[in-house]
Structure 1
């Protein structure tokens, strides 16, 4: 499919410009001269405003220091006056002078003297936090005048305070200093207040100057910016229409295509433009800049993701021929799990196709096209399944043709009769009969179908055996359904698979009527079929078996008894191979031959028949049966303690009981021995069991001749 490469808006103007002039043309100063000059002026204005701003801010900081120290000078003058009064009060009371009062007086006089000198000629002195600060001299006319007035008062004041700076001063020295302080303190305070006001006014003036500089700079910058913007907008005006048209075309394409379209960059990230279908194909919202492989990580296996990364890296290598690597694309057909709008996971098959977007010999992007090929893959799978089904049915027909005609006719007759009876039972079952009655009917149907499966497997009719197995699964699911009303409604789903089974049996019935005469004796035929069944079950279970079958006497039984005995033999044989024999490795570990031995023999004494099935396997474990009963929840541990081993082992014949770990074609449903038990009852016989752990298991069925 032809696709238009999506444009990136951030580069659209550059691309439209490059389309209007030959590639490789150098930068033109004249074309952008006005904008460059305007930008230079803009930077110059900014630099000038920045320098003035720094300078004025520095001076404001100095003014702040002056304001703080002027305020401190005013405060110190009052502290000196107060300490003089405290000292005089102590003198009048005849008390000694307090050291902290003397220290405060001397420190205050020292700080006032340092501040006065700094305001007069500039100096470094301790700040409010004790750290040294530099104070510029006062330069304003009013400030110099106020400083002179301070000198006029402070000089004689400081001279009178000098005797008090050392210990041992006389009361006359204190009286002289106190008298001068009381006479001049108010005047000194007023001058100090005026001096603080003056320093504040100087700071306010500098702040006003800073605001004027900033305002002027901003106005100039705004005018310059307006000029730049005007020029820039005029130059963009002609290209905007082309960009808008291209973007609209891209949008329409990306909205309408069914494929996922997007670009990936050399660092494996999604481009800015994505088709609407891409979001739906990935089952999540995509965003420009996402890592492509992080997006694929939840959808692919670790190996597929690694192969995809290596392939994309090859495509970004310009020396690798694109046509040569297209055939090794690991993402040409991948199965992914994505979530639909309801949040449910769905399996899809996606196809990723990559095309290079190159410029001047370098690969700038990869254009990724993603298609949903689920419908095609599903059709291929259906065709493959139909082909396999046809092959299996053809193989089944070939097996039926090779089977003994009499045996095949007997099988067809039994199968048809059993399926019709199952159909009748299920048709006449309803929720009104109660759960117990429904379960009885289902259990009987399971026995019939299980017997049909065993007979089909004996004849090698694998397709029919598989369908019977699937029908058993449906019956098991209904049996576990719960409420009688649910059981009754679930039975409505069974007629279709049952009808399909009847159709297969009808085809075999038609074939049996046209079959060629048998080539071997009937007794040999039944022995061969059971031996083949044992080998097939062993092969499916990963085991080896040496069957010894002697069922020729079956032909001497009346047809009803022969059918029951045959079913018993089939089920017991399958059970012996599946549950009795160990795997080859386990047998070798216990010193046994890898191939287990299973014998099935039917013989007659004077007044009874004896059917024996024996295997040299692991034997029957009562402890394992006990654990399984506990796992199934049929009994509590206390109840099981009351049973002896014989009672425990007897549960293997109960419907639904199996020691298998899972359900397979040959075991796990708990129907085989249940069917054996039912058939023994129909024969009016009795069943005995003998087993030695690690050595053998033997079943004996005796019934009247």
Structure 2
């Protein structure tokens, strides 16, 4: 904490003295510019007032011009309606109401407008709304208005009897006679009056142009004076600033960190270190908004937190040491461009320190560092710890597993992996693409079976590793691996890692020293299958109750039992992922939210029968048809030649799956392919029964 020294009351504090001195110098230095700006604003205000007043008068003149034109038009309408009324009288026909209404309305409007032009007043406008009309003040306008008054008063007096019903023919004849004798005179005077109102409006428009032109010229002259003074001051200031900047520039060029000042309005200061540009991945400029620079680098939440944090630092009452630990930018992951313009991921660290004067926070000094190397090392250490923990968890799970089952799994997995290794070692692109793809498919089946057995035993790390290897094989089989020869060269490493995992399990079970033992009783298999059902159902977000009775697997020869166990695991996975619906879907269709799965292995005379039945959605032949069309296996015309039974049989084809996405448990089209291959190895057959919306049942029959 900084020490505070007592000051003599009569001695002015240095900071206050500097602030007062700056104010004096600033005002004296820019006094001429300030006065010029004040005159500029005064000119603008004067021009604005004159523009407003003149525009207002022009608007009034426009109203007068329109109403004067209406006077001329109405006088003609009055004369015409008098002629129409006289024609009706001569033909001894009744007067039309609309003609009378037009005569009376025109007379009233003409008289109102005439009085308004003489004395000022409110009259109906062209749209029927009231408008205020000022009295005509020009000498020529008053003269014309008096002339119209002389002609209109006798005319209006003769029209008055016609304003009410029941007027006589003599009244009509008198008004018509006056109209015919004086209408041309009245029209000529009205025309001259329109010309006069137009001339008045034109003179006001000319006045407005003169005011605007004069104001603009004065403003430009004043602006030129301000610009001249400002440039002279700027030259003097630039010389002083450049001398100071040279020293700062040498320092900022040398430091490896990004250094810059941040103003209270979150703008970059004028001085930036050279490293700041490369760390941000773009050229920076003083005055740029700091958070706009951050926006493409960090998430919205981090941006919001950073704004709050920086605002806290600019609040002088907040202790800087207390908020250092909540800096949201102490470590951020960002995508920035390198020197070649490529996007690279970096980990950046921002640190903020206050620059204070007189108790106020003037700036924040921002130090930016690239901590990617440190973060990468930490991530590698954490990844290694996680990997070790997963392997340790897998070993603990293996210890808890049934020893006999684990030994059987290890022996079969090692055998299959070595077979896959031999298969891949003997495979090369020179053998032909078809032969290579055939061996890749065989390898995928073996790895898929290992993944299923590992998942059933709870060896999730091994299952995930097998899943990743199956991914790689799938990419090669699908043509996504690019050059097939190079793609095959990438397979030995993940295969070796799988073999190492199996070797670790083999060491744990002591298989080097003890022969494999059969599973004692059938409860171990039932428990194994039930655990697998719970795991797969949880991963798929489904609620499944399983009734498993596969204890007879213990009575089968080892090779036959292993294949049949693989078949059961694959069929159970298939039932949970594809057959049984999600709880919400089941509830919508009126089914219980909990799906039912029944798995049973029984001996029937001379054969073993493994049945897997679920009460799910069943097999949909139309859906399988659509999928076959999407895969491009057949055309629409070819599919029309297949019946539903032939269509459904395609679920056993390699690579066919109706799953929308690939997951740990479905989507590759390998599961039922493994089932079909194992059934053929056992010399058995598959019986499939399904009703859409109700159930699906697979029965595998193999000779005893």
TM exceeds 0.5? yes
Counterpart for residue 506 of structure 2: 509
Matched, 1:672 2:671: yes
In the aligned structure 2, how far is the partner of 1:256 from the partner of 1:479?
Answer: 55
Q: Answer with 628-637 or 496-505: which moved more.
A: 628-637
Deviation string, structure 1 residues 74-93 (Cα, Å, up to 9, x no partner): xxxxxxxxxxxxxxxxxxxx
Counterpart for residue 408 of structure 1: 406
Relative to structure 1, is the Cα distance of residues 342 and 29 closer, same or farther in structure 2, using a 3 angstrom cutoff? Answer: closer
In the aligned structure 2, how far is the partner of 1:493 from the partner of 1:300?
Answer: 35
In the aligned structure 2, how far is the partner of 1:398 from the partner of 1:680?
Answer: 34
Residue 250 of structure 1 deviates from its aligned partner by: 2.4
Counterpart for residue 625 of structure 1: 624
Relative to structure 1, is the Cα distance of residues 542 and 21 closer, same or farther in structure 2, using a 3 angstrom cutoff? Answer: closer
Deviation string, structure 1 residues 125-178 (Cα, Å, up to 9, x no partner): xxxxxxxxxxxxxxxxxxxxxxxxxxxxxxxxxxxxxxxxxxxxxxxxxxxxxx
Count of matched residue pairs: 495
Counterpart for residue 88 of structure 2: none
Counterpart for residue 75 of structure 2: none
Matched, 1:333 2:328: no
Counterpart for residue 18 of structure 2: 23
The match for 1:495 among 492, 496, 509 is 492
In the aligned structure 2, how far is the partner of 1:364 from the partner of 1:639?
Answer: 79
Counterpart for residue 268 of structure 2: 270
Counterpart for residue 78 of structure 1: none
Counterpart for residue 607 of structure 2: 608
Residue 616 of structure 1 deviates from its aligned partner by: 0.9
In the aligned structure 1, how far is the partner of 2:518 from the partner of 2:506?
Answer: 20
Secondary structure of the corresponding residue to residue 599 of structure 1:
strand
Q: Contact 2:407–2:517 at 8 Å: present in 1 too? A: no
| Matches for 1:378-393 after TM superposition, within 5 Å | 378-393=376-391
Counterpart for residue 468 of structure 1: 466
Counterpart for residue 398 of structure 1: 396
Secondary structure of the corresponding residue to residue 23 of structure 1:
helix
TM-score (norm 2): 0.65
Q: Answer with 383-392 or 562-571: which moved more.
A: 383-392
Residue 21 of structure 1 deviates from its aligned partner by: 13
Relative to structure 1, is the Cα distance of residues 547 and 272 closer, same or farther in structure 2, using a 3 angstrom cutoff? Answer: same
Deviation string, structure 1 residues 545-595 (Cα, Å, up to 9, x no partner): 111111111122222211111110111111111111111122222232222
Counterpart for residue 435 of structure 2: 437
| Matches for 1:23-172 after TM superposition, within 5 Å | 23=18, 26=21
Secondary structure of the corresponding residue to residue 684 of structure 1:
coil
Q: Contact 1:404–1:522 at 8 Å: present in 2 too? A: no
Relative to structure 1, is the Cα distance of residues 236 and 306 closer, same or farther in structure 2, using a 3 angstrom cutoff? Answer: closer
Secondary structure of the corresponding residue to residue 522 of structure 2:
helix
Relative to structure 1, is the Cα distance of residues 688 and 36 closer, same or farther in structure 2, using a 3 angstrom cutoff? Answer: closer
Matched, 1:377 2:375: yes
Counterpart for residue 580 of structure 2: 581
Counterpart for residue 549 of structure 2: 550
| Bigger Rg, structure 1 or 2 | 1
| Matches for 1:257-406 after TM superposition, within 5 Å | 257-406=255-404
Q: Contact 2:15–2:358 at 8 Å: present in 1 too? A: no
Secondary structure of the corresponding residue to residue 354 of structure 2:
strand
TM-score (norm 1): 0.65
In the aligned structure 2, how far is the partner of 1:584 from the partner of 1:309?
Answer: 44
Residue 251 of structure 1 deviates from its aligned partner by: 2.3
In the aligned structure 2, how far is the partner of 1:236 from the partner of 1:542?
Answer: 70
Relative to structure 1, is the Cα distance of residues 236 and 510 closer, same or farther in structure 2, using a 3 angstrom cutoff? Answer: closer
Provide structure 2 residue ranges, at least 5 long, that are not aligned to the other structure.
1-12, 37-224
Provide structure 1 residue ranges, at least 5 long, that are not aligned to the other structure.
1-17, 44-220
In the aligned structure 2, how far is the partner of 1:28 from the partner of 1:701?
Answer: 97
Counterpart for residue 57 of structure 2: none
Residue 257 of structure 1 deviates from its aligned partner by: 2.1
| Matches for 1:635-650 after TM superposition, within 5 Å | 635-650=634-649
Q: Contact 1:404–1:518 at 8 Å: present in 2 too? A: no
Counterpart for residue 68 of structure 2: none
| Matches for 1:514-533 after TM superposition, within 5 Å | 521-533=520-532
Q: Contact 1:685–1:701 at 8 Å: present in 2 too? A: yes
Q: Contact 1:429–1:488 at 8 Å: present in 2 too? A: no
In the aligned structure 2, how far is the partner of 1:446 from the partner of 1:29?
Answer: 85
Secondary structure of the corresponding residue to residue 536 of structure 2:
helix
